[in-house]
Amino acid sequence: MTDFAPLRRALLSVSDKTGLVEFATALAEQGVQLLSTGGTARALRDAGLEVRDVSDVTGFPEMMDGRVKTLHPVVHGGLLALRDNDEHVAAMQAHDIGAIDLVVVNLYPFEETVAKGAPYDEVIENIDIGGPAMIRSAAKNHGFVTVVVDVQDYATVLQEMDKNDGQTGYALRQRLAQVAYARTAAYDTAVSTWMANAVGEPPRRRSFGGTLAQSLRYGENPHQEAAFYTDGSARPGVATAIQHQGKELSYNNINDTDAAFELVSEFAGHGPTCAIIKHANPCGVATGETLAQAYTRAFDCDRTSAFGGIIALNQPLDADTAREITGIFTEVVIAPEASDEARAIFAAKKNLRLLTTNGLADPKALALSVKQVSGGFLVQDKDVGQIKADDLTVVTKRQPSAQELADMLFAWTVAKHVKSNAIIYVKDGATVGVGAGQMSRVDSTRIAARKAQDMAAVMGLPTPLTQGSVVASDAFFPFADGLITAAEAGATALIQPGGSMRDDEVIAAADLAGLAMVFTGMRHFRH
């Protein structure tokens, strides 16, 4: 092996033909012979380039609807042969195998086919076989062979050839080999994940793949390296959003923006709704007659925490709402769309990022949640559980009013997106106190109530808004103390999963306090 390897013959077979003609033309101008197949060959010939069919080289026609075309010893021998190994060279001469110095392959659009909801048979036909095989052969032999799997690397290869008289250096070939193996790994991950869903049982081996979207300055803290990867799904959210202004999102921005948008997406079709997030927890969620009113009501839940937060909207951002939002420092605003006037208002705030998603995420869509632990990782279904009024069981003597019932369902929806232990006070379609992440449910109840007291003082209210509110708890009350604390804060009704050994004790305490309480039969732990 030498550091520099000449490119005399290239095999091109691509699904994504972006930049193909320009790249192939530049190769031909440097004297590189072009081999190709199928649609790639046609595209090159239509551009006036001289192309030799792989079938002419192998002596076999493309067959079985194109399933078999490059799976041949002449192709893989040309890729795998060590050019400085006498036995390999002798085998090439004996079997008329010509060296292939460059492989340009991007794979059948499997991920895209799955994302559009194609039927089973169509997905199967979009599993590439020959492509990954050639990529792996070329990458293994990167001592001599250059492999390109991404359009973005075309220019790099050409620049390398220009600098080195039609040759590529080992460092580039090694880097491109790593890119190639990462691509086939991600591709196989997509296939195996889809097959696991089709089979309907936990796979024996599980992998995850993604494509680098951006390098990040650092992770949660400056001493942690980080990057953001996309998984190829078309789900509306931070990964697929268009950023209209502001500097690049940080690790924490991305994490919090995702939390905000996933929460507000729960309220598709529920009228104007706003969620304000800080450290992945909501510090205010509210509906309103207008989007501006929804924002103001969400802001009033915890004005202190809202400073420097993330705002998510379930409707297009309008000018009135934009003006309200610019009243304080905000990191990110994400919405399905934004009016031209709203964008103009935001343009004056250079550090404010605006993202639009062209729709809301489907809160019922199945997905996986992954958490790394030492020595492995935990995989579970994403929590897409939802409760309707008909699913509730009233367990107290007092029945909830219609308004209490509506507020309880609102609070229960928010609770799913609050770190456990979670307690949420809601009044008239707005959170008025949020307690998150405490080791004791009683402490979460007290913290949420205390935040409401603080806001009452700031807003000049005679009593906290928890007076006459409802309370949601993400898991059951193990003792009556949490319920009693909520009642002391002014709550009149509670929604919780039930299922505690002391349910009877908790129900009795609710009856004694004159509260209405319903059980959902579902909990929303969020760790």
Name the residues annotated as catalytic: 140, 279
Distance (Å, whole) CA 183 – CA 170 = 20
Contact 395, 511 (CB under 8 A): no
In DSSP terms, 167 is beta-bridged to 6
Going by C-alpha positions, the residue among 97, 104, 85, 101 that lies closest to residue 167 is 101
Distance from first CA to last CA of the chain, Å, rounded? 52
Q: Where are the alpha helices (DSSP H) in 416-513?
A: 441-459, 481-488, 503-513
CB atoms within 10 A of CB 416: 24
The pair of structure tokens assigned to 383 is 């929590």
Distance (Å, whole) CA 469 – CA 456 = 14
Distance (Å, whole) CA 89 – CA 85 = 6
Distance (Å, whole) CA 357 – CA 333 = 11
Strands 376-381 and 368-373: antiparallel
Q: Identity (one letter) of the amino acid at 489?
A: A
Distance (Å, whole) CA 486 – CA 448 = 9
Which residues have CB under 8 Å from 37's CB, separation 6+?
13, 53, 54, 55, 62, 69, 70
- The b-or-e profile of 190-208 (16+ CB within 10 A means b, else e) is bbbbbebeeeeeeeeeeee
CA distances from 130 to 153, 194, 487 (A): 21, 20, 67
CB atoms within 10 A of CB 222: 8
Peptide bond into 421 cis (omega under 30): yes
Give the helix/strand (H/E) hosting 415.
Answer: helix 402-415
Strands 516-519 and 102-106: unpaired
Distance (Å, whole) CA 241 – CA 235 = 10
